[in-house]
Chain A
Amino acid sequence: MNPAAEGTTYPAVPFVVEPSRVAAFRSLFGISRGIPPTFVTAAEFAAFPQIVSDRHLDLDFSRVVHGSQTYRFRRPLHEGEELAVRARIEAIRIRGGNGFVTIAMDLEDADGVVVCTARSQMIERAAGA
Chain B
Amino acid sequence: MRGRATVSVGQELPALARVVTREDVKAYADVGGDQNPLHQDDAFARSAGFPGVIAHGMFTMGHMAAAIVAWVGEPDAVLAISAQFRAPVFVGETIVAGGRVRSIEDRSATAILETWVTVERNGRTEWPVKKGEARVRLA
Residues of B within 8 A of A70 (CB): 80-83
B interface secondary structure, majority: helix
CB pair B69–A46 under 8 Å, yes or no, is no
Question: Which chain B residue has the least Cβ–Cβ distance from A45?
Answer: B33
Alpha-carbon distance between A36 and B68 when the two chains are bound, in angstroms: 10
Give A60-95 as 1s and 0s: 1 = Cβ < 8 Å from B's Cβ atoms.
Answer: 010001111111110010000000000000000000
Q: State how many angstroms separate the Cβ of A13 from the closest Cβ of chain B.
A: 12
> Min CB distance, B50 to chain A, in Å?
10
CA distance A99 to B9 in the complex (A): 38
Q: Provide the bound-state CA to CA distance between A43 and B78, in Å.
A: 18
Cβ–Cβ < 8 Å partners of A65 in chain B: 57, 85
CB pair B82 A38 closer than 8 Å: no
Chain B nearest CB: distance from A20 CB in Å? Answer: 10
Q: How many A-B residue pairs have CB under 8 A?
A: 88
Whether B85 contacts A36 by the Cβ 8 Å rule is: no
Interface residues of chain A: helix, strand, loop or mixed (majority): mixed
Q: A29-B65, A69-B82, A71-B81 are in contact. Are A34 and B31 (CB under 8 A)?
A: no
Contact A69 B66 (CB under 8 A): no
Q: Is A30 an interface residue (CB 8 A)?
A: yes
Query: With A69-B83, A71-B81, A73-B80 in contact, do A35 and B75 touch (Cβ < 8 Å)?
Result: yes
Size class of the B contact interface (CB-based, 8 Å): 20 to 34
Task: Return B85 CB to nearest CB of chain A, in Å.
Answer: 5
* Interfacial chain A residues near B30, Cβ < 8 Å: 24
Q: Does A25 contact B (CB under 8 A)?
A: yes
| Cα-based distance from A61 to B37 in the complex (angstroms) | 11
Q: Is the CB of A37 within 8 A of B34?
A: no
Distance in Å: Cβ of A114 to nearest Cβ of chain B? 13
Within 8 A of A (CB), among B97-118: none
Asked if B28 is at the interface of the complex by the 8 Å CB criterion, the answer is yes
Shortest B92–chain A CB gap in Å is 17
A38 near B80 (CB under 8 angstroms)? no
Q: For A73, what are the chain B residues with a Cβ–Cβ distance below 8 Å?
A: 78-80
Identify the B interface with A (CB < 8 A).
24, 27-28, 30-34, 36, 56-58, 61-63, 65-66, 68-69, 74-76, 78-85
Q: List 7 A-B contacts (CB under 8 A).
A: A25-B31, A28-B28, A29-B62, A36-B65, A46-B33, A71-B80, A76-B76
